[in-house]
Amino acid sequence: MRMIIDTDAGVDDAEAILLALMHPDVQIEAITTVCGNVSLVHVIPNVFTTLDVMKRSIPVYRGASGPLIADWSPEPFHGADGLGNYAARLPFLQCKPLLESEVAALALIRLANAYPGELTLVALAPMTNIALATRLDPSFPGKIKRLVFMGGATSAMGNTVNIAAEWNIFCDPEAAYIVLSSFPQATMISWEATLRHPLLWAQYDALSALTSPAAQFFEATSRLACQTREGMGLLIPDPLAMAVALDPSLVRASQQHYVTVELGGRHTRGQTVIDHERRLGHEPSVEIVTEIDMAGVFGLFERALALE
C-alpha cells in the first residue's frame, strides 16, 4: 500500500503515524502537515519527533498554516505542544533543513500524478491541504485510490463551540465542503464512532507496559489524556481512521450516503450533513463507518508497539 498521511500532529495523530510506520505492507510516500490541533510551529517538530523515535526517514511537507477562510485557534486538549507536552522534555528540534522545499498541496498533486490509482490518502486533520490540491488540479481526487478521513459528526454530536460540529471539520468547513463535493468516494470515521470505540483501559495498560521505544513514546505522549481516566477507555480517533485504512476488513458495519458540510448557522457551521434519503440528488459518496473490530485495532497497536 502506498500511503500519504495528512496530519496536524496531535497525540492521536502520532499514534496513527506509528501504526502506519510499523506496518510491513505500507510504504509512506509523504507526510503533509497542516494547522489544526496546534500551529505548524508545533505540528512539524511533532512529526519529526515521531519519525525520530521510530528511526525512520519520510519526506515531510509544509502545508497550510491556516484555514481557507475560517478563524482558527489551537485546541489545548493535546497540551501546549500538541504532543501531550512531550516536546518540553526534548532539545530544540531544527526542522527547517529536514523539510522538503515543495509545499504540501503541490506535493499531493505530484504524487497523485506519479502513482495514479495507487495512493491511500489518510486525512487526520482539517482538509485544507487536500482542498487546495483539489482546486489547483480538479483531476486530483480521481487519481487517489482511497481517501480515509477522521472527521465529522453523524448525529450532530460535535466536540466544538459549534455544538453540532466535530473539530477537524469545524477548523476549516470550506475545505471539507470542497473535498466532500469533489472526491468520488471516501471513508469517514466520525466523532460518534470514536466515542463508541475507545481503547479499553486494560488494553491501554498492556500497551503502556511494553518496553519498545514506540511503546514508551505512546505512553509518554498519552499520559496527559489519561490523567482522569474518564469513560471506558482512551479515545483514539485518528488511530481508528488509520486502522481502517490499513485493514478495511476491520469495518464491521457501515452506511453509504452523500455527505456535505454546513457553512452557515450560529450553532451548526461545520456540521456534517448526511443525506439519508438521497433528497439532494447526489449519489452516495461516503462510507460512514459505524462499527469497528476493536480486537483487530488492539492487535495492530500490539504488533506495532512490540517491535523493537
Sign, CA dihedral 128-131-136-141, equals positive
Name residues whose C-beta falls within 8 Å of residue 297's C-beta, 6 or more positions apart in sequence: 197, 199, 236, 239, 240, 243, 250
The one catalytic residue in 6, 8, 12, 13 is 8
Task: List the strands of the sheet with 251-261, edge to edge.
Answer: 60-61, 27-33, 2-7, 119-123, 144-150, 186-189, 286-292, 251-261, 272-275
Distance CA 111, CA 115 (A): 6
Strands 186-189 and 286-292: parallel
Distance CA 72, CA 49 (A): 24
205 catalytic residue (yes or no): no
The label of the residue with cell 519520510 reads 58
Distance CA 297, CA 51 (A): 21
- For the annotated catalytic residues, the residue numbers are 8
